[in-house]
Amino acid sequence: MSGHTEVASGHAELAARFGTPLYVYDLDEVAAARRELADALPEEFELYYALKANPHPDVVRELRTGGDRGCKAEISSTGELAVALAAGFTGADCLYTGPGKTSAELDEAIELGVRTFSTDSVTDVRRVGTVAVGHGVVVDCLLRVNSANASATTSIRMTGTPSQFGFDSETLADVLPELRRVPGVRIAGFHFFPLSNAKDEASLVAEFQHTVELAAGLARDLDLPLRVLDIGGGFAAPYGVPGSRGSYPKLRAELTDVLDLHFPEWRAGSPRLACESGRFLVGTSGTLLATVSNVKVSRGRKFVILDAGINTFGGMSGLGRLMPVSVRLDGREAERASLVGPLCTPGDVLGREIELPVLSPGDLVAIPNAGAYGPTASLLGFLGRPAPTEVVVRGDEVVSVSRLELRRSAAP
CATH for 292 = 2.40.37.10
User: According to the model, what pLDDT value does residue 382 have?
Assistant: 87
Per-residue pLDDT tens listing for the chain (412 residues): 444 434 677 999 999 999 999 999 999 999 999 999 999 999 999 999 999 999 999 999 999 997 668 999 999 999 999 999 999 999 999 999 998 899 999 999 999 999 999 999 999 999 999 999 999 999 999 999 988 665 444 444 445 454 566 688 888 999 999 999 999 999 999 999 888 888 899 999 999 999 999 999 999 999 999 999 999 999 999 988 889 999 999 999 999 999 999 999 999 999 999 999 999 999 999 999 999 999 999 999 999 999 999 999 987 544 444 555 665 666 678 899 999 999 998 888 888 888 888 999 999 998 899 999 999 999 888 888 999 999 999 999 999 999 999 888 898 8
Q: What whole-number distance in Å separates Cα of residue 159 and Cα of residue 279?
A: 19
201 and 329 in one domain? no
Domain presence at residue 238: yes
384 and 262 in one domain? no
Q: What does DSSP say about strands 389-394 and 397-403: parallel, antiparallel, or unpaired?
A: antiparallel
Domain-terminating residue out of 258, 282, 306: 282
Q: Is 92 exposed, middle or buried (0-12, 13-18, 19+ CB in 10 A)?
A: exposed
Contact 231, 245 (CB under 8 A): no
User: According to the model, what pLDDT value does residue 341 have?
Assistant: 93
Domain presence at residue 2: no
DSSP summary character for residue 395: T
293 and 163 in one domain? no
SS3 content of the chain, % helix, strand, coil (to 5): 35, 25, 40
288 and 273 in one domain? no
Domain presence at residue 409: no
Domain presence at residue 149: yes
Q: Is the peptide bond before 183 cis (omega within 30 degrees of 0)?
A: no
Q: What whole-number distance in Å separates Cα of residue 239 and Cα of residue 350?
A: 13
231 and 377 in one domain? no
350 and 335 in one domain? yes
The total of structural domains in the chain comes to: 2
273 and 338 in one domain? no
Q: What does DSSP say about strands 364-367 and 286-298: parallel, antiparallel, or unpaired?
A: antiparallel
| Cα radius of gyration rounded to whole Å, the chain | 23
Domain presence at residue 1: no
240 and 116 in one domain? yes
Domain presence at residue 359: yes
Residues 6 or more apart whose CB falls under 8 angstroms from that of 408 comprise: none
User: According to the model, what pLDDT value does residue 7 have?
Assistant: 61
Which residue segment(s) compose the domain that 128 sits in?
A: 27-282
Contact 95, 128 (CB under 8 A): no
Domain-terminating residue out of 282, 314, 333: 282
Helices (H) and strands (E) in the chain, counts: 10, 19
241 and 110 in one domain? yes
Q: What whole-number distance in Å separates Cα of residue 327 and Cα of residue 366?
A: 10
181 and 148 in one domain? yes
Q: What whole-number distance in Å separates Cα of residue 389 and Cα of residue 22?
A: 5
273 and 242 in one domain? yes
Q: Is the peptide bond before 271 cis (omega within 30 degrees of 0)?
A: yes
193 and 307 in one domain? no
Domain-terminating residue out of 234, 267, 282: 282
**Roughly how many angstroms between the first and final C-alpha of the chain, as a whole number?**
43
User: According to the model, what pLDDT value does residue 149 have?
Assistant: 64
Domain presence at residue 410: no
Q: What is the CATH number of the domain that holds 199?
A: 3.20.20.10
For residue 182, report the phi and psi dihedrals to the nearest 5 degrees.
-70, 120
Domain presence at residue 74: yes
Strand partners, 119: 143
- The residue type of 232 is G
